[in-house]
Every structure is written in structure tokens, then in C-alpha cells.
A and B are shown apart, each in its own frame.
Chain A
Amino acid sequence: MEYFLQQLINGVTLGSIFGLIAIGYTMVYGILGMVNFAHGDIFMIGGFISVITFLVLGLLGVTWVPFALVCMLLMAMMFTSIYGWAVERIGYRALRNSNRLAPLISAIGMSIFLENYVQLLQGARNKAITPMLQGGVELMTSDSGFTVHLGYMQIVIVVVTAALMAGFALMIAQTSLGRQQRACEQDMRMARLLGVDVDRTISLTFVMGAALAAVAGMVWLLYYGIIDFYVGFLAGIKAFTAAVLGGVGSLPGAMLGGLLIGLIEVFWAAYFSTAYKDVATFGILVCVLIFRPTGLLGQPDIEKV
């Protein structure tokens, strides 16, 4: 029971990271119908910018942890969203009316480019930072001496994620930008006819997705304390799996899918084998696509001829 509870806590923490990345996939897919393969690398860049901000803060002598965390969050979101914008402007805008494969191939190229760009500039080795927030609450101890540990960092992660997701959902539902976005998702041409600036809306979608991915990157760095240039590949695929599991195009679906993938991965590693935990994720992706291609919360997608 205690072991189960501990895994549940770890799974929710990991799942909220995947959920943050998955939102970026799902929003872009909803509007453009393309898989933004480079999104995992945007997440990785967010992590690297957090490392650099962390070191800059260290040089400036900032030691108050909450201030440092907010600084890292803002810097990572700001600079990473510019990357998100640039990726769309350079790689995808020209291909908007092209065949289906062209944007995907361009996205793969973008992903390879970004990985090697970061590797060239920052080196191939792992970047580790000293933990910023240690300690936690001990919830309960079993008879055999196993203690359920809830780290402060885990609390911060889940709270930040939940707050961001709530704010984000509110924005999509209430603001004019959110309405424009949903209009583009339903019918881009009609939205344009009604005066929606489609280019701007799509750009902003990428910016928001990248900002959320940057938060995920920072959280990943704080949670694991380590990041390298290749981390975006696997995390990106898992987040994509989460988006598919929840139903591509659906925001609550992405959050739910992220949580589920995080839980599945942690429980699989805890009860079966660590070696095959990634195989489990891919297996789920395949099963979902075969048996329920629309995902848990997705709308069936009708192809018009």
C-alpha cells in the first residue's frame, strides 16, 4: 500500500510534465493537422535555457529560492517561445497548403537540426545542477520500514502545472484569442473570411505550446537535476503518445493522457521491469491507435472529399 502510494505520487509528478508537453502537440494538431515533431526539442531547449538562467542567477548572487524559480520560469518561457515562433515561421508556414507528409518531414528536419544545434553550442555531456529545493513531507511509514515521501519539489511541480493548465483552459474558453483559435481549428478559411488573422493565431499557438513546453523543460530539470541535448526525443514521443491517448485535438484529453502515461510508466517500472518501460509506452501508443484512434476524449475525425 505504501509502495503503491509512493509510486502514485511519482507517477502524477511525471505525468504532469508529459501533460504540459502534450498540450503543445495537441493544439498544433488541432489547428494545422500536423505532428510537430520538433516539439520535444523545444522542451529540451526550455530545459537548457533554465540551466543557463540558473547559472546566471548564481553569478548574480540570487539565493532566495522562490524568486529564482519565478525568474527561471519567466526566462525559459520567454526565450523558448521565440524558438517556437521561429520554428513555425521558418519550417512550417510555407508548407501550410502542401501535402500531408511535407510538414512532417520538415518537422523531423527541424528536430534533427535543433538537437545538433544545442549539442554543438552546449556540448554533448549531461548538464547537472545542484538541487534547489530539497526535503519533503513524510506521509506514512509501513511496518517494514518503507516511508512514503512527498518532496517539496513534487508539490511545486504539481501545483505549477495545475495552475498553468487551469489558466490555459480558461484562456482558450474565455478570451478572444481562444475563440479565434477554436475558430481556426474548426474551419480556417471561414475564420479568415470573418476577419481572423490566421497567421497570427497559428503563430501564437506555437508560442503558447512552446511556453508550456519550456515550463515542462524547467520542471524536468528541477525534478531530475540533469538534462542533455537528446532528452527531447524520448520525452517528445511519450508526450505525443499522451496526446494520442487522450485524443489528439482535445486539451483535457492531453492533460488526462499525460497523467495516464506518467502513471503507466512509473507503475510499469515499479512492478514489472525498468528495462522495458519505454516498450510499454510504445505498446500503448500502438494499441490506442489500433483500437480507439480517436483517443479517450477525442472527436472522430471525418474526412471530407
Chain B
Amino acid sequence: MNQKRWAYEDFEVGAEVTFGPRRVVADEMIAFAELYDPQPMHLDEDAGKNSMLGGLSASGFFTASTFMRMMCDAYLLDSTSQGSPGVDYVNFRKPVLAGDVLNGKTIVLGKRPSNTRKGLGFVSVRHELYNQRGELVCDMANTGMFLMREEQAA
């Protein structure tokens, strides 16, 4: 296995990893909505304008999935990630609209080695996603599982 940049040991409590920018493209948003969330405000500009969201707006699941991709590109793909058992919370705080440019960060809240699996550890993190005006549009927290360096080398 190639040596990955991010193993369990590399996540320091209090540290931040930043990611982005990523532009939200209307066609991609609509393609996602057609497959997973075909509500009018996610498919059509006029329907979006007439909705509470105020424009052609992303499905929350699109925002979460895009968020995930940004984290993958920033560090997860170059990590010893073994997946995640879940997400404590996701808040959709502001609409994500076509053309928005998103930036984000992951903040390391805590970490501990697994009691049951040698060489594996849990890293608790909070993630924040901002639009081009610096407004927090989405935040979430979860615990990821990462292999330790010696395990990876084994």
C-alpha cells in the first residue's frame, strides 16, 4: 500500500483542514435532483424563485454529497480512512444556489484509539461549508475511522 499523507496520528486536536473553492454548477445540481430529489425548487429556476429558497437551489443531499467530495479531494483520498459509522448532525442553514462558490473546513475535535481493533482509531470532526459571501450554509459533525501509520505499513 502506498504511504498516505493522512493517518490517524496526523489529525491533531484543534487543527483545521481547509478545502475548496468549488463552484456549484446548475446542470450538476439538476442532474442530481432528477435522480435523488426531484422537487420543483431543485429542478427549475422559476419554481426555485417562487419557493422559500429564493432560486434554483441544491437538494440538501446534493450539498452534503458535494461537501463529502470536497473533503475527499482535500484529505480523505490521501488518508487511511476506513469509512465512518455515521454523522451526528447536518444543518442546512442557508440555501445553496446555482453559481455559488463553496469553501469549507474540517476542525478536529477529538480522537481515540479503538479498544477492539488494534491499529485503528476514531477521529471526531466538525465540518463547515461557506458560500462566496462567507455565510455558513451547512455544517456537520461525525467520527471517522483511520488506520494508524504502523498498521498501514504492515
- Determine if chain A interacts with chain B: no
A interface, CB within 8 angstroms of B: none
Interface residues of B (CB under 8 A from A): none
